[in-house]
Structure 1
Amino acid sequence: MKHLPPAYFALVMATGVVSIAAWDFGLPVIAMGLFVFNLAAYVVLACLNVLRSVRYPGLFFADMTDHRLGPGFFTAVAASCILGNQCLLMARSLAAATVFLVLGTALWIGLTYTIFTALTVKRDKPPLEKGLTGAWLIAVVSTQSIAVLAAQIASEWPQPLRLELNFFALSMWLWGGMLYIWIISLIFYRYTFFAFSPDDLTPPYWINMGAMAISTLAGARLVQNTPDAPFLASLLPFLKGFTVLYWATGTWWIPMLLVLGVWRHLIRRFPLRYDPLYWGAVFPLGMYTVATKQMAVALDLPFLTPLPPVVFAAALAAWTLAFIGLASELVRKLVRPV
């Protein structure tokens, strides 16, 4: 608990999106099993974070104002909203989904203006190559997770609340896109103009793709909601265009990240061992699966339908390996030799 990584809610993010993908592919046993596991994981992590903030407030808030660790707190926002989506899809509980939307939005507001204000006004700041990681894009993922859940709930709410909630989802979608442009520009600059070692290529760099995947999903949801909101219908070409832009950008990142992974582990011989940050690499694969499947339906692109099953298989395999790593780590720490 004392040294709990702030980004550990990525476990819930990854499990939730793989569960949703399984549900979309008609695998209810896997989907519900992961849903139950996710509820337990969310409760455990929430309790540990609350206890850590009470028992070790110095460490907790020092992490929140740290350039490398602070953005990891945004995983709590995305985890809440993804769990809300699971509640709506699998438990058919609109009330639970709404509670998670309110909770996620409250966390997003508090964390956004606490973390970014602290990073702006603090005196001692690291150089760009030391302080910037792919984890910064979790701020984008958290923003878009609110847009996805709000758009999903909007299709269930009665009018006129449906109109306002769709506008809220649209606003969050646009803000998330703008935030991605800001941050990815710095990340690409860091990639190409600073020395890069295997240690620097941490698993959260897969969020480069995951942030675009969840932006694609939010755009597809908004396109599907156009009959319920006239202002969305008037923006339909814009919504479709940017949804494809996000999907194409996320797709571009996949080969690049695979090549960098080969360079890290095969060429530079960086050891492959369990790290909580690897959940941040599982999440993008699951999200790309769900986003591509939904975009193919929303934009009537049937030629994309063979792609999601392939990526889903990779996401499920990655989740299984990460879970085995987590279980092995827990056993190693908890079991003492006689």
Structure 2
Amino acid sequence: MSLLSKTKNLSPAYFGLVMATGIIAIAAHQQRWPFIAQTLFFISCVSWIILTFLYSYRALRFTKDFTEDLISHNKGPAFFTVVAGTGLVGSQLMVLYGYYWLAFIAWTLSLLLWALLTYTVFTALTVRRDKPTLDKGISGAWLLAVVATQAVAVLSAHLASQTSQPWRLELNFLALSMWLWGGMLYIWMMSLIFYRYTFFKFVPSDLAPPYWINMGAMAISTLAGSLLIINSPNAPFLESLAPFIKGFTIFYWATGSWWIPMLLILGVWRHIIKRFPLTYDPLYWGAVFPLGMYSASTYVMLQAMEFSFLYTLPTTFFYIALLVWGVTFTGLCRSLLRLRQKA
């Protein structure tokens, strides 16, 4: 069996590698580690190119399997990693190098993918006849739709900061609209996920790594809100909404912060108390990303709000995220090596 034929079962969540690597590259830039930032940027871009080819090949060669995943309650939301990964490549281009037009291309692509996936996935999940029960059909992976929405908001805000009028106004308005929509979507989905948490039987296998997106979705919402606050002096409508944006940005950050101890406790329950094996899974990129995003978003929030008393948090979470990224990337390399040996 050739390596390309194995794309038949390629996980829709693999763009989480691009997401996790990209945001840690931005965090490294913030922490003044240019070599790490540039290395991770290179890895994220190469990963994006390779995965785009593999997903395109899978869609053309194994169309039935690809489509079944796309309209699946369990796998469909994972496709939103494509949107978030593309948006974060664009954000890296802006933050690390100031490549406006390349970032604009990434923004255009991420916006088109967001619209396509949002109205394809959720329409399909709504109209399909056979639907799983809530405890079997929903997980933290659904919040990737929130992450994708906020990734577009973040990149829109970055572009707006370097765009002259009149497009600056439109980009800031789009960023604000996506930020608000992402927040509403989180409230809808998190209500169902929390209900599933507390009122249905929960076993270790149910606690998949994407549950860390519970925190990551709030972290990227914090980043988008912080960028809107920074952009507000150049956008009158944002300036008039500044108290509202600041309040909700802190609300998002506080919610994300609440999730961290909870997820750690559940992780101890899963792997230590219940002895669930800790082996490499592409879904683990969904756990790496939130750690990097918490570092990057807190760093920008401190600039926007002047919360100097929280200055140690971005640095601490950067090193944690970098360590977890290294462990997960090692697992990926070993997995690919085994795959090659079996081919």
TM-score range, shorter chain: over 0.9
**Out of 13, 16, 25, which is 1:10 matched to?**
16
Shift of residue 91, structure 1, vs aligned partner: 2.7
Quote the Cα distance in structure 2 between the aligned partners of 1:227 and 1:163: 12
| Matching of residue 62 in structure 1 with residue 74 in structure 2 | no
Quote the Cα distance in structure 1 between the aligned partners of 2:221 and 2:253: 8
Shift of residue 259, structure 1, vs aligned partner: 0.1
Q: C-alpha offsets along residues 26-54 of structure 1, whole Å, 9 cap, x if unaligned?
A: 10000001111111100000000000000
Runs of 4+ in structure 1 deviating by more than 6 angstroms, as ranges, are: none
**Out of 307, 314, 323, which is 1:308 matched to?**
314
Shift of residue 90, structure 1, vs aligned partner: 1.9
**Out of 291, 297, 305, which is 1:299 matched to?**
305
| Matching of residue 79 in structure 1 with residue 85 in structure 2 | yes
Shift of residue 335, structure 1, vs aligned partner: 2.4
Alignment of 1:223-302 (within 5 A): 223-302=229-308
Shift of residue 325, structure 1, vs aligned partner: 0.2
* 3-state SS of 2:9 partner: coil
Shift of residue 209, structure 1, vs aligned partner: 0.1
TM-score (norm 2): 0.97
**Out of 99, 114, 134, which is 2:105 matched to?**
99
Quote the Cα distance in structure 2 between the aligned partners of 1:141 and 1:270: 28
* 3-state SS of 1:67 partner: coil
**Out of 128, 141, 149, which is 2:155 matched to?**
149
Residue identity (%): 58
* 3-state SS of 2:244 partner: helix
* 3-state SS of 1:269 partner: coil
TM-score (norm 1): 0.99
Aligned Cα RMSD in Å?
0.8
Quote the Cα distance in structure 1 between the aligned partners of 2:316 and 2:102: 32
* 3-state SS of 1:195 partner: coil
Quote the Cα distance in structure 1 between the aligned partners of 2:168 and 2:234: 7
Quote the Cα distance in structure 2 between the aligned partners of 1:336 and 1:9: 24
Q: C-alpha offsets along residues 172-211 of structure 1, whole Å, 9 cap, x if unaligned?
A: 0000000000000000000000000000000000000000
| Matching of residue 170 in structure 1 with residue 170 in structure 2 | no
Shift of residue 19, structure 1, vs aligned partner: 0.4
Q: C-alpha offsets along residues 58-114 of structure 1, whole Å, 9 cap, x if unaligned?
A: 000000000000000000000000000111122321001000100000000000000
What one-letter code is carried by the residue in structure 1 that aligns with 2:261?
P
What one-letter code is carried by the residue in structure 1 that aligns with 2:256?
G
Unmatched tracts of structure 1, length 5 or more: none
**Out of 209, 216, 221, which is 2:222 matched to?**
216
Q: C-alpha offsets along residues 227-286 of structure 1, whole Å, 9 cap, x if unaligned?
A: 110000000000000000000000000000000000000000000000000000000000
* 3-state SS of 1:34 partner: helix
Quote the Cα distance in structure 2 between the aligned partners of 1:181 and 1:122: 24
Please name the residue that 2:4 is paired with.
none
Please name the residue that 2:3 is paired with.
none
| Matching of residue 42 in structure 1 with residue 58 in structure 2 | no
Quote the Cα distance in structure 1 between the aligned partners of 2:227 and 2:169: 14
